[in-house]
Each structure stands twice: as C-alpha cells, then as structure tokens.
Structure 1
C-alpha cells in the first residue's frame, strides 16, 4: 500500500463493517492505525540493508512472524488480517470479494498515555513501576532460548560503523562538531571490539546471548500495573538474538536520555535479583559499549526519519533527536578511554 492509501483507510476504511475513524502513528518502517478498540500495523513496502518488505509475500511472512514472536511476552497481539479494496473502500479482515492488497497485524489498543516514553514526558514514572518492569523482563530473559552465533569482529564493526552514513546529513543540517563525534565513535568502537572481543565471545559461550526482544526502548512498553512489552524485532534474527546486556542497555540508555539515571540504576538492581547478567567487572565496561551502540542506532533511526519527512516541524524534531543521541553516545565513549 502507498501512504495515501493508508491515510484514506485510517479515516474511511472499515473493520467488521464499522468505519475505522482512526489516526496514524508512523515509524520509519511501518504505519499504525489506531481505531477505537484496535491498532492495525502495516509494514511499509521497503527494502533496506537490514530488512526486506518489498513484496506482499514478504510483508505477510513478517506479519506472521511478528505475531508469533510478540506472543511470547504479550497478550495484545490478536491476528494477521488481509486488507482489500472493495467497492472503492478499504476493508480490513475477511471479505468474499477482491484480491488481497496488503496485510496488517491486529492488536488490542493500549492507552497512549501509558506508553513509557510519554509517561516520562509527563513525569509520571515511579521507581516501583520500574522495578516491576525489571522483574518481568528478567523472567522473560531467564526463559528465552539461548543462541550461540559466534562473535565476528567484522560484522560487529559494520553494525556500529554504519553510523557513518549519516555524516553528510549531520554536517549539512547540524554542524561539523557532531559529524566529528561520529568519526571519533567509529575509531573508538574499532579499538574496543579488538580489545574486548574475547569477553563478548565468552559470554556467548556461557549462554548470555538469547532470543529476546531486540528493540526494547521506552516507546515499546506500556507501563500498566503489569507492564506490556510489544513490537519486538521480527525482520532480522541477528538483531533479536543478542546478549541480554545489549537488551538492557537500550532501556537504560533511554532512561538516561530522559535524565533518569537513578531509575536506570533501580532497574538494574531489581533485574539482578532475578537474573545475574553481570558476571565479572569487564561486563560493566561491555554494558557501557552497548549503551553507546544503542545511542548510535537511535541517532541513525532519527536521521532516517528526518530524511523521510516533508513536514518542517517534524524534520526539526528529528534533527534535535539526532543531536541528543550523538551527544549521549559521546558521553559513553568518554567513560571508556582507549
């Protein structure tokens, strides 16, 4: 589907003969239509270095995989539904007429105000809730399947160093100083991986690499009395089969992005009561590296969203996020001189 079709469907489309009258939330790889009771997630027809949604068949396959993977820890995932264009109207769900134009993942609609990033903006996040979240994630990690993909230094270098692709955007739209942070980070990461590669492999051998969520940041958690995790990575197994410390690093980096380091510390302390992810002192240094890599990836995501949008206000917001994440990445790098 094209963006214009999704926007028309959000307003005038139907599900079970009821008009959607929804609104759209957009990421760099999907559109989500929020109706009264449900969320319908549609994958953009994209082919990027790390995913391929370029055909209807691939989008259906990834919808089905998303459903299965997220059901490991969330009850809000309901079904994969077809979308058809029938009698000049977009229809979600089974219909006796017309070929399937698209597929979507159907979820129960959650309160947007309960999403963790929004709760931070509203200053409504309490340490008690964060400890409950830590217990839930520790339980999931403890049960998650162990994976034993070997550490390959070149592959890890490429993951970190892909941030070089945003240098032209940063130079043109922010400044040279922040572009130089990117160059500094790449040199530092290369040295770090060479120095700590053996420890990363030892953790894999010891079972700390697991099939987890892969994208566990504040925007993918609803903080109810029992937290709701959602939107794990389905499109690339290697992004999801990671060291549990790398998973924790994303969330803790996000807490620190919101200037809530005390909550990051409370989270790790509560998590550690249920699952011991830190084994030796070197692991704390690895954790800092993983936080820098997570800030790196968020900077890239916001740079991509900046390039995709034509809205000037949205573009300015995305550039601001790029700058903040680059500065956060730099702060982690400065904690581990090499």
Structure 2
C-alpha cells in the first residue's frame, strides 16, 4: 500500500513509543511494562506479552530487514510451541494506516511483526521460586517428565561422532578469546586451565562421547534452558528457546539439563539438579557417568562467562557495570569446580 509523501514511515523509536501506550492494545490493560534486551523489546500488558525484534545484525543473527524479522517471529512461535503451546498465540503485524497512524493488526502497511504470547505469572517462574526456596522435588520430577517426552519425540541429528567431538572442541576454544581481554579482569590463566582440562576430557573420553552419538542422544533441543524460562504452572511450560540459530539448539539433552541444574546451583538451590536429573533418567531410560554431566556443566559455565563479558561491552547502562565482571568470575569458578569433578576417578 502506498504511504502519503507527507507522512514518512515511523521510526523504530516511534514503534516502541506506540507499544508503550496502554491505549493502543485491543484488550483493555491497566498498564504496559516494558523489558528491553539486546535484540528485542517485550511489552507486557495485563494478560499478554508482545515481543518486538530490534533491527540489529551481529555475528549470530540478522534482524536487519523486515522480512528477516517476520521469519524469526514465525520460527519463534513454531519452535516454542513444542514446550509451551498454550503460551505462544501467534504473530501479529504492526501496521501503518492510510491516515498515518500505527495500529496492531487491521488494514495498512505492515511495518513490523510481533510475537504475541499469553503472559505468565512472574511468581511461578523457576528463578523467582528459587529465590523463595519454594521449589519441590515433585515439581522438578514433573518438569523432567515433560522434557523426557520432548526429547524422545525428536529425531536424532544425523551427526557422526568425529563431528560431534569437533563441535565440542570448537565450543571449548571460543570463550578464551573474550575472556582473554585484560580489560575485563578475568584471570586468563585460570580460563586457559579450564579450557585445557575440558579439551583433555574430549580426548580422554572420546569413546564416551561417541557412545552418546551412537545412542541417538544428539537432538535439536531448546538451546537456552535456564530457570527464567521455566514456568511451574499446574502443567509446566518452557519458553524462549533459541530460535535465531539452529546450531545452538543441536545438543545432548544431558548438556541442556545439566545447564539448568548449573543455573539452579548458582542461584542457591543445588538440590534441584539431582531432583531433575534423577526424574529425567527414570522417565527417559537414559543413563550416563557423572563425569560427563560435570564436563557439560563446565563447558556451559565457560560459555556463560563469555556472555557476561559480552554484556559488559554492549551494555547501554541498564545494569551496574560491576555486574558483568562479577558474574563472569562466578561462572569461571563454577567451570573450575565442575571440570575438577569431571576428572575425578
């Protein structure tokens, strides 16, 4: 549709401003709470959440065009319905009407796409429940059964054992570049020591890793299984998977479950890990030696340390600067702790 020459298309700031206004939503809402991340804005009304992708481009994603953002919205809904079908309601256009105003849906030129979700209660998110120490073993076993059924329904990746080990070696090496920057204050020698021990595990335990591949344990999972993405409703749901890069979702379920256990440990409820993992083993029939779990957890901790450093570089003032180096140090300590457990015999 042609747009009047006297009314230029709205800027991204115009779109954010429009979505901040409670009067612009079809369902009445008392207010709109906004949450900004590095790649999106989320607008929380009383009953729904609307996610707007930023027109950004970086090494791991490209949202620089409207069509790219539409495709990513579609993928986000498709993938997240695997574990949260009741939450992800669809993709909604933000349109520019003939008369020059923005609107959610309806006639007009589409100028953005939004993912529409049912708003979940913050008090039922796992990270919030951990702060209240209000998580039970029964809840985690229920979550474990959900995840076991999820992984069982995925066709294993057609990946050879050598390729899987090569992927792990690359993932081990990648964090060192970021963690080696002296400006971030992360002890580089300690990071190198962890990475060397992880690489030695891959060499020493090649047969164990090859067995995971042979048993069909490498699948397209969630990719970012953290407490803030788990909602313990009567029927638990898991949201916000990595939709923008499939390679980040290719993993061993034990890696992903170990990651969730690691984050629960960091937040102060280490007992959640055994509850979850024992429940998963019983529901799935999967078994593994303890060193493999600790290896995966150490690798995840190093990845999170790298991401903390990235945040320090990219943060626009939304968080205290000291937050990110402290977080990187916490993750480095976790990486050391778990790789030490992985090498115990």
- The alignment's TM-score, normalised by the length of structure 2, stands at 0.86
* 2:7 match: none
Shift of 1:136: 1.5
Are 1:319 and 2:325 an aligned pair?
Answer: yes
| Paired residue secondary structure (2:116) | strand
Shift of 1:39: 0.6
Is the CA contact (8 Å cut-off) linking 2:95 and 2:107 kept in structure 1? no
* 1:249 match: 258
Are 1:260 and 2:272 an aligned pair?
Answer: no
- Alpha-carbon distance between aligned partners in 1 of 2:195 and 2:279, rounded to the nearest angstrom: 33
Are 1:165 and 2:171 an aligned pair?
Answer: no
| Structure 1 range deviating more: 258-267 or 304-313 | 304-313
- Alpha-carbon distance between aligned partners in 1 of 2:145 and 2:61, rounded to the nearest angstrom: 31
For the pair shown, the structure with the greater C-alpha radius of gyration is 2
Are 1:131 and 2:141 an aligned pair?
Answer: yes
- Alpha-carbon distance between aligned partners in 2 of 1:17 and 1:36, rounded to the nearest angstrom: 9
Is the CA contact (8 Å cut-off) linking 1:7 and 1:24 kept in structure 2? no
| Paired residue secondary structure (2:55) | coil
- What does 1:158-237 align with in structure 2 at a 5 Å threshold? 158-167=170-179, 171-173=182-184, 175-177=185-187, 179-237=188-246
| Structure 1 range deviating more: 101-110 or 179-188 | 179-188
| Paired residue secondary structure (1:261) | coil
Shift of 1:248: 0.9
- Alpha-carbon distance between aligned partners in 2 of 1:19 and 1:274, rounded to the nearest angstrom: 41
- Residues 145-190 of structure 1 show CA distances to partners (whole Å, capped at 9, x for unaligned) of 2222234244322222221232255x324x353x332222222222
- Alpha-carbon distance between aligned partners in 2 of 1:306 and 1:24, rounded to the nearest angstrom: 22
Gaps of 5+ in 1: none
Shift of 1:313: 4.3
Gaps of 5+ in 2: 1-9
- Alpha-carbon distance between aligned partners in 1 of 2:300 and 2:186, rounded to the nearest angstrom: 22
Counterpart selection for 2:88 from 61, 77, 96? 77
Shift of 1:254: 1.2
Q: CA 1:252–1:245 in 2, change beyond 3 Å: closer, same or farther?
A: same
CA root-mean-square deviation: 2.5
Is the CA contact (8 Å cut-off) linking 1:220 and 1:229 kept in structure 2? yes
Shift of 1:18: 5.4
* 1:142 match: 152
| Stretches of 4+ aligned residues off by more than 6 angstroms | none
- Alpha-carbon distance between aligned partners in 2 of 1:85 and 1:319, rounded to the nearest angstrom: 43
Is the CA contact (8 Å cut-off) linking 2:180 and 2:186 kept in structure 1? no
Shift of 1:297: 2.0
Q: CA 1:142–1:65 in 2, change beyond 3 Å: closer, same or farther?
A: same
Is the CA contact (8 Å cut-off) linking 1:12 and 1:89 kept in structure 2? no
- Alpha-carbon distance between aligned partners in 2 of 1:39 and 1:131, rounded to the nearest angstrom: 28
Counterpart selection for 1:304 from 302, 310, 314? 310
| Paired residue secondary structure (1:72) | helix
